[in-house]
Each structure stands twice: as C-alpha cells, then as structure tokens.
Chains A and B, each alone.
Chain A
Amino acid sequence: MDIKDIIKEENLVYSKTKLMTDNVLSYCPGCGHGTAHRIVMEIIDEMGLQSNTIGIAPVGCSVLAYDFMNIDMIQAAHGRAPAVATGVKRTWPDKTVFTYQGDGDLAAIGTAETIHACNRGENITIIFINNGIYGMTGGQMAPTTLEGMKTSTSPHGRDLKKMGNPLKITELIAQLPGTYYVSRQAVHTPAAVRKAKKAIRKAFEIQQENKGLTFVEVVSNCNSGWKLPPVKSNQWMVENMFPFYQLGDIKVDGELVK
C-alpha cells in the first residue's frame, strides 16, 4: 500500500494531545521533561479534566510548563509548589490539582513544603522529575546526585564524606501517614512511558476519591547537565540511576509495598 494512502486523517492512531500547546518546548533535545509533560496532559485529556485541573509549575527547567500545558496553571516560587497547591485545593476542592517539580525544587529548597504537604495528606498529586542535578542553572549537585556523580559543583564526583548522601525523598515521604499512593517511574522507553501513564492516572483517580496525597517520581535524564548525548544519557540512567532509584510502586492504598 502506498504511504500516501496510509497517511490519511481516518488512519491517524497517535498524535500529540491538544492539551499540549503548539509552543516549541524549551527543553534540550531528548530531555525527559517533554515526555513527562505530554503524558500528564494525555491523562488529563483522557479523564476529560482539561477545564477542571490546576497545575502548579516549579522553578527549574520546567518553570515554563504553563506555556506548554494547555490547562490553568500557576507558577510558584522555588520549592513552594506544594504550599500553593494546598491553597488552591482547599479553595477549590473539586478541582484536580497537581504540582510538577524537579529534584532541586522539591528535594532541596522545597523540602519543608514537600514533607509537610505530604504529612498533612493534602489531596493533591505531586509529579516529581528526578534527574539528580540542577539542570536549569548549569548542572550543579542536587541532594539527589548519586555517589561519585560528576556535576559542575562536584567535578571529581560526589564524595559522600564531604557532600553527604543522595536523598531518597520519595521513600522518605512514603513513610508519612498522609501519603496514599507513592510510585517511581521513568519515561525513556515505550514500556516505561505506558507504565508511568498508568501510575499517574491512578494518582489522579485517587485524588478524585479524596484519599490523600499521591506522589509519582519520574527518574529522568539531564543530557546537558550530565554532558551526554540523549540516547547515551538514557543508558547511563538505566545503569546508574535505576539501581539506586528503583522503579515501581512504593506505597499502595496507604500501605508500604513489601
């Protein structure tokens, strides 16, 4: 069959959701932020929640998420997204409210807001993009940076004696009674994307049932900060990030897994 007979409107099986605007993403080539944005928007689309969802953008590379996600959004001060989300959700309890935050935002400057929103069991969803580095500001070490990992502020690799240990904030907040569903996912392969979508959808569904805070970490890449081409950075992520940040559900139905 000729290609031009296949490429017809009636045969379309996949294209970018209308809930992503037509603005060109500001992200580096191959950056997982774009994929993470798109799947969150696909879920909102599939759940029919476009006009009923409020997203909170962070400070970090995804500071402009409101330019890309075609829903109502607020951009919070660095690390404060869970506090802003708390206010929004308490004002409009019927809205679906989520934050979208990097690891510098969520696990460094915003640690207090993260932990207390989780501990209060706010009925919000936190989408946490963990690339182990401060991408936006030039690849500095983050609390999540792995042992031995080179960053612009740990050029010889993270030395645990001098620089402390990488922080598994997702395991930490899973201990808190206010969290109901906590999962760690990735978006580097088709199978990972499909799983991550299921997890994020589940998080939004639980929010609609008012069961407590839902938290999905997406372990992602930062090609520029890691100084690797995109496909190599995904391989590096599989070999180095996944053994430490293991993928899968951490807390389900309010109970820790395992």
Chain B
Amino acid sequence: MARVQGAIVVDRERCKGCEVCVPACPTQVIELANEVNGKGYHYAYMANPDACTGCSNCAIVCPDGVISVYRVKKTA
C-alpha cells in the first residue's frame, strides 16, 4: 500500500503564533520557534518534518490561513 508523506509551509511573517495548529496535528509535527517574526510572534514551524502526513488538519484550523500543505504518495 502506498504511504503518504507530507510537508507544510507556514507563511512565517503572517503567522500570529497562536498555537492553535499545534494540538490539531495528530503526529506532533509543529512547534513554535524560539525566534520571532517581524511582528514579534513566535511562528509555527515543522519541528518534526518526517512525521507529517499532509493531512491538512493544522491548515484548516489556522485562523489566519497561513499554512499550505503538500502531500506525495510514496510507492516504495
């Protein structure tokens, strides 16, 4: 059976660091960065990228709509 692998891209400068995406991720991919963006928010990033399945849960709860999700099928 094909397995899927995903990745997210967070629009760093538009992220408000609200953390709502963090508990929405079933595989604990996301954390807030120690660094801040131009507005002073600790932005979300993939701390554990290998665990991302591209399920989009994080993106659909992000109030600011700043997450894009990519997904590929791995055949091996």
- Interface of A with B (CB < 8 Å)? 1, 3, 5-8, 11-17, 20, 24-25, 27-35, 38, 187-190, 193-194, 229-231, 234
Contacts and interface: CB of A to CB of B under 8 A. Distances in A.
B32 to A, nearest CB: 11
Contacts of B49: 3
A11 B61 contact: no
B38 to A, nearest CB: 11
A29 B24 contact: no
Contacts of B59: 14-15
Given A13-B69, A38-B65, A29 B7 contact: no
Contact of B5 (A6, A25, A27, A229): A6
A30 B66 contact: no
SS of B interface (majority): mixed
Given A30-B20, A34-B62, A231-B19, 16 more contacts: A6-B72, A11-B70, A11-B72, A12-B69, A13-B54, A14-B59, A14-B60, A16-B65, A20-B65, A24-B14, A24-B64, A25-B63, A34-B65, A188-B20, A190-B56, A229-B19
A230 B44 CA distance: 14
B30 to A, nearest CB: 12
B19 A189 contact: no
Contact of B60 (A1, A32, A190): A190
Contacts, number: 96
The winner among A6, A8, A15 for most chain B CB atoms within 10 A is: A6
Contacts of A11: 70-72
B56 A13 contact: yes
Nearest to B7: A6
B72 A14 contact: no
Nearest 7 CB-CB pairings of A with B: A30-B18, A34-B63, A29-B16, A16-B65, A29-B18, A190-B57, A15-B68
Contacts of A230: 18-20
Contacts of B68: 12, 14-16
Most A Cβ at <10 Å: residue of B41, B62, B70: B70
19 contacts: A1-B72, A3-B49, A5-B72, A8-B70, A11-B70, A13-B6, A13-B71, A16-B65, A16-B68, A20-B65, A27-B63, A29-B41, A29-B63, A34-B64, A35-B60, A38-B63, A38-B65, A188-B61, A190-B24
